[in-house]
Amino acid sequence: MPGQRLSVVVTRRLPEAVETRMTELFDVELRPDDRPMSREELVAAMARADVLVPTITDQIDAAMLARAGDKLKLIANFGAGFDHIDVATARQRGILVSNTPGVVTEDTADMAIALMLAVIRRIPEGLRVMQEGTWTGWAPTAFLGGRVGGRRLGILGMGRIGQAVAQRARAFGMQVHYHNRKRLRPEIEEALEATYWPSLDQMVSRIDILSINCPHTPSTFHLMNARRLKLMKPTAVIVNTSRGEVIDENALTRMLRAGEIAGAGLDVFERGHDINPRLRELDNVVLLPHMGSATVEGRMEMGEKVILNIKTFADGHRPPDLVVPSML
């Protein structure tokens, strides 16, 4: 759409600098509050916009796209994940979808390591005692956690984030193992000192920590199901900074309560913010509110990518971060 000032609807509050730049470039409709749009509000937004800028909280399915009309031409997602958008239906209707890959890699990898340390070293338990004012002083057997160095880390999904987790794990002295849809090139394996397991079952039965770093797709839904979770050692810890749907959360909760898995650090959940209440009761579980990519730098870079995708599209070119069929 060269030369045309696009109408853009943003579904959530974005960093102020990002919103200011969007206002300069486009006819933009910003969200006055940070409340997620309802289903009907999303449909109405799609009907009046050339470009919709949604986030992970906006579920956009085929039925909604069918009601969008003919005006909408681009969904410029604010975030790398796009499983909340029916991309196939969008493309069938001539609507392009873009995302913001790469910007959350380092931040999410940092959080994965933070969760490992928090669970294994029992950091939240110590923090709670200090905040409650009930600490009575040092004791030789108080808050005994485990040593991270020397543990066998299994990484499920060895893309950008998985590799960044591996780099950090090596610095902590962990042994890196991984399972991935495709094996890494030998030079990357060598640089990461990573051992490939073609069988996920065999890997999870031998590791001390499992870090989930794969996307949510039909093939990864409940990839860590009850049967596979039971293969893990009772001393093992599981960390998830990717997508909650990859784990059967009810099965994980039962095993954590029964002591069949030693602990878990979860930044994402199977039903979004509707968290299994039994998880909240456990001392061996660290729960975070989807903070993996929550850095000022990361959010700004996301916004810059969204703007670049829209601007490139407005100039009549293919958005650089277009979601293509091979990615689905």
**CA dist 29 → 25, 50, 54, 131, 246 (Å):** 12, 11, 12, 43, 35
What secondary structure does DSSP assign to 171-188, as a single string? HTTPEEEEE-SSPPPHHH
Distance CA 96, CA 74 (A): 5
Q: Is residue 132 part of a domain?
A: yes
Average pLDDT estimate for 106-133: 97
| 213 and 269 fall within a common domain | yes
pLDDT of residue 248: 97
| 125 and 234 fall within a common domain | yes
| 42 and 127 fall within a common domain | no
Q: By residue range, what is the domain housing residue 165?
A: 105-287
Average pLDDT estimate for 74-99: 95
Kindly report the three-state secondary structure assignment for every residue of 74-115.
EEECCCCCCCCECHHHHHHCCCEEECCCCCCHHHHHHHHHHH
| 60 and 82 fall within a common domain | yes
Digit-coded pLDDT (tens) for 262-320: 999 999 999 988 999 999 999 999 999 999 999 999 999 999 999 999 999 999 999 99
Closest CA to 272 of 80, 38, 124, 84: 84
pLDDT of residue 268: 96
Q: Is residue 224 part of a domain?
A: yes
| 112 and 88 fall within a common domain | no
| 179 and 130 fall within a common domain | yes
pLDDT of residue 326: 53
Residues 6+ apart with CB under 8 A from 182: none
Q: What is the residue whose two structure tokens read 């923090």?
A: 127
Which pLDDT band holds residue 324 (cuts at 50, 70, 90)? confident
Q: Is residue 281 part of a domain?
A: yes
pLDDT over threshold 50, residue 93: yes
Q: Is residue 69 part of a domain?
A: yes
| 110 and 97 fall within a common domain | no
Q: Do the beta carbons of residue 78 and residue 18 sit within 8 Å?
A: no
| 46 and 134 fall within a common domain | no
Q: In what order do the strands lie in the sheet with 263-266?
A: 194-196, 175-179, 152-156, 209-212, 237-240, 263-266, 285-287
| 255 and 313 fall within a common domain | no
Q: Is residue 18 part of a domain?
A: yes
Closest CA to 303 of 1, 5, 30: 30
214 CA to centre of own chain: 9
Q: Is residue 206 part of a domain?
A: yes
pLDDT over threshold 90, residue 327: no
pLDDT over threshold 50, residue 223: yes
Distance CA 140, CA 130 (A): 17
Q: Do the beta carbons of residue 66 and residue 43 sit within 8 Å?
A: no
Q: Is residue 2 part of a domain?
A: no
Total domain count for the chain? 2
Q: Is residue 1 part of a domain?
A: no
Average pLDDT estimate for 154-159: 98
Q: Do the beta carbons of residue 129 and residue 108 sit within 8 Å?
A: no
The pTM score is: 0.90
| 191 and 276 fall within a common domain | yes
Phi and psi of 234, rounded to 5°? -65, -15
Round to the nearest angstrom and report the end-to-end CA distance of the chain. Answer: 26
Q: What is the CATH number of the domain that holds 62?
A: 3.40.50.720
Q: Encoding tokens for residue 197?
A: 């397991």
Q: Do the beta carbons of residue 104 and residue 127 sit within 8 Å?
A: no
pLDDT of residue 165: 98
Residues 6+ apart with CB under 8 A from 206: 152, 154, 177, 233
| 18 and 155 fall within a common domain | no
Which pLDDT band holds residue 328 (cuts at 50, 70, 90)? very low
The half-sphere exposure of 119 on its side-chain side, counting CA atoms within 13 A, is 29
| 199 and 256 fall within a common domain | yes
pLDDT of residue 217: 87
